[in-house]
Chains A and B, each alone.
Chain A
Amino acid sequence: GAGVSQTPSNKVTEKGKYVELRCDPISGHTALYWYRQSLGQGPEFLIYFQGTGAADDSGLPNDRFFAVRPEGSVSTLKIQRTERGDSAVYLCASSNNVETQYFGPGTRLLVL
């Protein structure tokens, strides 16, 4: 079956612009997670959805970051007024709450 998919795979933008990153979880998975991975680092938690609601958004670094999951399936991570420090790989994962999180290939964001 299909795994977690993320689009775009790569995104180059200019400082100050707005970007949206999309995640399609595995069908039927109720839990969805966003992580951010900087070069040479492990992934860092951003936000976790259970169904449509954000169960834990404590990892979002500031109010320029926002994520939605309106129908409990696809999620969009939105970044306003991008900064160079936002450059990273943004990883999405989904789970059916049975323990293992299944990760997508990530979106590589570069802010110039």
Chain B
Amino acid sequence: KQEVTQIPAALSVPEGENLVLNCSFTDSAIYNLQWFRQDPGKGLTSLLLIQSSQREQTSGRLNASLDKSSGRSTLYIAASQPGDSATYLCAVRQGTSGSRLTFGEGTQLTVNP
């Protein structure tokens, strides 16, 4: 059974810092990996999707990397802003389990002005 773990569970940083969120998964036979953002009381917004054959994806100040063989992904946020405060969720899609996503528990990020 696939298990996804995210470290740290919570992170508080001053505005302007660069930061890294970590995600690990136990079964490397994934189809893709996705990073989501969740604001309080809201649904999930997809940030980046990395196919299993890719090493990284970039969108603006966000960069996500994938090391499939070691079961790890990182989300790098450059020059953090208070508006980045949210919970960040990592999810993997198994190649053998259809379209379900298996999520980590999330990292709650607070960026202080």
> Is the interface on chain A under 10, 10 to 19, 20 to 34, or 35 or more residues?
20 to 34
| Complex partner residue of B106 from A35, A42, A95, CB under 8 angstroms | A42
Closest chain A residue, CB of each to CB of B46: A100
| Complex partner residue of B43 from A41, A91, A97, CB under 8 angstroms | A91
Query: Whole-angstrom distance from the CB of B89 to the nearest CB of chain A?
Result: 6
Query: Whole-angstrom distance from the CB of B25 to the nearest CB of chain A?
Result: 12
In B64-113, which residues have CB < 8 Å from any A CB?
89, 91, 97-106
A104 with B100: CB separation less than 8 A? no
B46 with A101: CB separation less than 8 A? yes
A45 with B100: CB separation less than 8 A? yes
Closest chain B residue, CB of each to CB of A106: B43
Known A43-B44, A100-B49, A105-B43: A48·B103 in contact at CB below 8 Å: no
A59 with B100: CB separation less than 8 A? yes
Query: Whole-angstrom distance from the CB of B53 to the nearest CB of chain A?
Result: 13
Q: Tell me whether chain B's interface is mostly helix, strand or loop, or mixed.
A: strand
Question: Is the CB of B24 closer than 8 A to any CB of chain A?
Answer: no
Closest chain A residue, CB of each to CB of B42: A105
A103 with B104: CB separation less than 8 A? no
Question: Is the CB of B22 closer than 8 A to any CB of chain A?
Answer: no
B101 with A101: CB separation less than 8 A? yes
Chain A interfacial positions (CB closer than 8 Å to B) = 4, 31, 33, 35, 40-45, 48, 55-56, 59, 91, 93, 95, 97, 99-106
| Complex partner residue of A31 from B34, B36, B99, B106, CB under 8 angstroms | B99
B103 with A55: CB separation less than 8 A? no
Q: What would 15 more interface pairs be, CB under 8 Å, given A41-B105, A56-B98?
A: A31-B99, A42-B4, A43-B103, A45-B101, A48-B98, A48-B99, A56-B99, A97-B99, A100-B46, A102-B46, A103-B44, A103-B45, A104-B43, A105-B41, A105-B42
Interchain CA distance A105-B32 in the complex, whole Å: 23
